Amino acid sequence: MRHLIAAAAAGMLLACSAAAQDAAPQPREDGGLAFESRGQVNAGGTSVRYRVIAGEMIMRNDAGEPRAAIFHTTYLADGVRDARNRPVAFVFNGGPGSASLWLHMGVIGPYRVVLPSDARDDGAAPFDVVPNPHSLIDVADLVFIDPVGTGWSRTLGDAPTSEFWGVREDAQSLSAFIRQWLTEHRRWNSPKYLFGESYGTTRIAALLQELEGGWTDVAINGVGLISSILDFRYAATDAGNDIGHVGLFPTYAATGWYHGRVDREPWGGDIEAFLDEVREFALSEYLPALARGSTLGAAEEARIAAALARYTGLSESWLRAANLRIPLNRFMRELLRDEGVSVGRLDTRYRGVEPDGVGESPEYDPSAYGIDAGYTAAMLDYFTRTLGVTIDRQYVTLGGVRNWNWSLTAGGQAGGRTGYANVAPWLARAMRQNADLRVFVANGYYDAATPFFGTELTFMQPGFDADRVVMRYYESGHMMYIHEPSLVRQGAHLRAFVRGEDLPE
């Protein structure tokens, strides 16, 4: 009898799953498509049943003309009687030009893809997609947003991409999306959170400027900056930008430590003690040495080169030949050149085999091709098989956006970056004008795309309320949740942040 009951139950589950997959999309009132399904997951120690709405929201201009369809995935927990006390989190990734699959299938959504935790290449399908106990669905309703040009989001009619592809343009379209979503779901009086990764943190600052900058104020309770980049000077090693070398240097040191190119004994194997010393050296000795330029004496140059070599594992002769400046692409190639491999940019734990031993730059970023197949396959498998989404357009994971307008002023010209974008003042102003706005910053020690010390230097600047900013660090890279121990810690940090609790170490 038990076997018959189990078989019947399994049949019912399969029938429900098939019904979800075969269901036709439901047209929205605005003309967009929506695919609805239901799910259940154990998150945060709680079993949560939820409704999923995956579909398009049609964005219109002031004349009522459709200009874009923004694809998004909404998770609404069942049994919520008081929406006033139920937070809603809007989640997106960066690029610019990335869909939200990384945070969706990495740490925040109810399902996640499992990739090698030790920085090995993800290989090829099949990949494991499993229920995610670290999802935030137990503490907040979730809205994953794909900006125009990413995922299945697109322009409509004769709308040019320039209406959406820029720092301010992107923020304007997503702020309109958020306001419209709040109205449709009657959630204006719910606590609101923004979670973004990489350029998504830049987007958060720009969104705060749009959402909180006028009388139709959408006050945000908290923002999660995952792999933060607010002031781009601190992550750029272009000629003439010496502060970028300082911002990246502690990441180089952490990378040398990870790959065994640094003698760990003087610090007792404690990476945090090591990095504290590196930080102090970077500000007190390295930055002044770079500022002196060609007037730096030979003896002082030799002393600084010796210290750089001790902290990174690069040779003193190479460092002196490079004028003590370490461009990122050269570091990626040089550190493990004798082994015939490069290190990653997004995650410097990754190693990529190089075609020769003399190249100045890596063939490609091994931490990018080490994860992209797994995330793309997992996201699309989840959309089509679990959520029943049937869209025949190509899904854009990352890379479809071109000619981004980096201007921060109204009417600024597109066509590339002039100087270095810095949206940190927008976040600082939002904190000054919103007494409840809290900031959580998640940093990976091995992230050379958005270096942790560059983020620290940004938040050292005047204007921020340090009492409402909390940072946590992970022995992983840009997508720190790929590393299993970091995933567990980050899930606990995000959950405590939404709950308004002190974050565990």
DSSP states of 292-346 as a string?
A: HGGGS-HHHHHHHHHHHHHHH---HHHHHHTTT---HHHHHHHTTGGGTEEE-SS
Q: Is residue 61 part of a domain?
A: yes
Residues 174 and 249 in one domain: no
SS3 101: helix
* CA 301 from centroid of its chain's CA atoms: 37
Q: Residue 14 pLDDT > 80, yes or no?
A: no
Residues 17 and 147 in one domain: yes
Q: Is residue 266 part of a domain?
A: yes
Residues 355 and 430 in one domain: no
Token readout for 56 is 């398009």
Give me the pLDDT at residue 8, please.
Answer: 35
Q: Are 204 and 479 in contact (CB under 8 A)?
A: no
Alpha-carbon distance of 234 to 224, in angstroms, equals: 20
Give me the pLDDT at residue 24, please.
Answer: 67
Q: Are 77 and 86 in contact (CB under 8 A)?
A: yes
- The whole domain housing 104 covers 2-232+372-499
Alpha-carbon distance of 314 to 333, in angstroms, equals: 11
Phi-psi region of 120 (alpha: psi -120 to 50; beta: other; left: phi over 0): beta
Residues 331 and 403 in one domain: no
Residues 404 and 272 in one domain: no
Look up the CATH number of the domain holding residue 141. 3.40.50.1820
Query: Cα angle at 257 between 235 and 345, to 5 degrees?
Result: 35
In this prediction, residue 441 has a pLDDT band, given cuts at 50, 70 and 90, of very high
Q: Is residue 505 part of a domain?
A: no
Alpha-carbon distance of 441 to 429, in angstroms, equals: 17
Domain boundary residue, one of 306, 341, 364 = 364
In this prediction, residue 446 has a pLDDT band, given cuts at 50, 70 and 90, of very high
Alpha-carbon distance of 499 to 13, in angstroms, equals: 33
Alpha-carbon distance of 108 to 141, in angstroms, equals: 11
The residue that leads in pLDDT, 419 or 178, is 178
Alpha-carbon distance of 211 to 220, in angstroms, equals: 8
Tens digits of per-residue pLDDT, 310-368? Answer: 999 999 999 999 999 999 999 999 999 999 999 999 999 999 999 999 999 999 999 99
Tens digits of per-residue pLDDT, 176-215? Answer: 999 999 999 999 999 999 999 999 999 999 999 999 988 8
Residues 174 and 283 in one domain: no
Question: What are the Cα distances from residue 388, in Å, to 18, 38, 255, 374, 383?
Answer: 9, 11, 42, 20, 6
Residues counted in the chain: 505
Give me the pLDDT at residue 411, please.
Answer: 54
- b or e along 224-255 (b: 16 or more beta carbons within 10 Å of the residue's beta carbon)? bbbbbbbbbbbbbbeeebbbbbbbbbbbbbbb
Cβ-Cβ contacts under 8 Å for 335 (sequence gap 6 or more): 252, 255, 256, 259, 261, 312, 313, 314, 343
Q: Write the DSSP assignment of 130-168 as a string of letters.
A: EE-TT-STTTSEEEEE--TTSBT-EE-TT--GGGTSBHH
Q: Residue 9 pLDDT > 70, yes or no?
A: no
| Average confidence (pLDDT) over 208-232 | 94
**Which of 2-11, 24-33, 334-343, 413-422 tops mean pLDDT?**
334-343
Strands (E), 362-476: 438-444, 469-474
Residues 341 and 402 in one domain: no
Q: Are 203 and 423 in contact (CB under 8 A)?
A: no
Q: Is residue 291 part of a domain?
A: yes
Range of lowest pLDDT (16-25, 37-46, 418-427): 16-25
Give me the pLDDT at residue 3, please.
Answer: 39
Q: Is residue 165 part of a domain?
A: yes
Tens digits of per-residue pLDDT, 235-271? Answer: 999 999 999 999 999 999 999 999 999 999 999 999 9
Residues 20 and 156 in one domain: yes
Q: Is residue 31 part of a domain?
A: yes
Q: Which residue has the tokens 């969706």?
A: 104
Give me the pLDDT at residue 409, please.
Answer: 84
Q: Which pTM was predicted?
A: 0.93
Residues 352 and 443 in one domain: no
Range of lowest pLDDT (20-29, 213-222, 494-503): 20-29
Q: Which residue has the tokens 């009388």?
A: 215
Residues 101 and 191 in one domain: yes
- Mean pLDDT over the full length of the chain: 93
Q: Is residue 163 part of a domain?
A: yes
Residues 272 and 183 in one domain: no
Residues 352 and 208 in one domain: no
**Total structural domains within the chain:** 2
Cβ atoms < 10 Å from Cβ of 152 = 22
SS3 92: strand
| Average confidence (pLDDT) over 445-472 | 97
252: nearest Cα among 180, 334, 173: 334
Q: Is residue 504 part of a domain?
A: no
Domain boundary residue, one of 339, 364, 389 = 364
